[in-house]
A = this chain, B = another copy of it.
Amino acid sequence: MTEVQRTERTTPRTLPSRASSDLETIRAIVDEALCCHVATSDGGFPRIAPMVHGRVGDELVLHGSHKSTLLAALARGAEACACFTLIDGLVLGRSALHHSMNYRSVIVFGRAREVTDFEEKSELLKRLTERVVPGRWAELRPMSPQEVHATLVVALSLAESGAKLRTGPPIDAPSDVDGPWWAGEVPLALCAGAPIPSPDLPAGIEPGPSVRALALRHAPRERTRAS
């Protein structure tokens, strides 16, 4: 078990029992999250944007248009914060105060580096695509050099990061437990519907294994209480 070293910024102020610095836990949450939220405070105020990310080793990979204000700030090395949030369920206590969510989240602080080397950039874009839809790269029209150049790619280290997790039932006040109020958890998960072909798709082209696997990866399932 490798631990990320805590800093002033990643030391939890509230609920330290829910915090984890375990690198495997952090990597797993980053990999499962479909997208993340990234903030900079370039210009004197915070700005958040949702972004699709990749992970290569212990670096996050972010990409987008050269016109994006936030991505340009990241490329200039502005202080950044990225947050990954998986919602696993609603926690419904007997009182409003003991309502909560079951979640797994990661926060990352640092300054990104712009990736300018053509080969590295191409590889990171491939790895980003493959993280979101494993196997998809091989089913695509290969990326052109122009497309690689048109994309701004930055990498942000996980060196200063931490996770927070909550699982299990509500923790009610002992004096409430024998009361007449229902308490428990309602599990939540992201589910996929059936693939919808593009209206301009020529007849006879079926979705490849990577697309069919998405439906399985995000299938609705009955979940039981975590042990």
Contact = CB atoms under 8 A, between A and B. Distances in A.
Interface in A103-148: 103, 105, 107, 109, 125-126, 129, 132-133, 136-137, 139-144, 147
A201 B187 contact: no
B81 A188 contact: no
A189 B189 contact: no
Residue among A79, A179, A182 with most chain B CB within 10 A: A182
A179 B141 contact: yes
A9 interface: yes
Contact of A183 (B97, B169, B198): B198
Contacts of A222: 193-194
A81 to B, nearest CB: 4
A74 to B, nearest CB: 11
A9 B35 CA distance: 23
Contacts of A97: 143, 147, 150-151
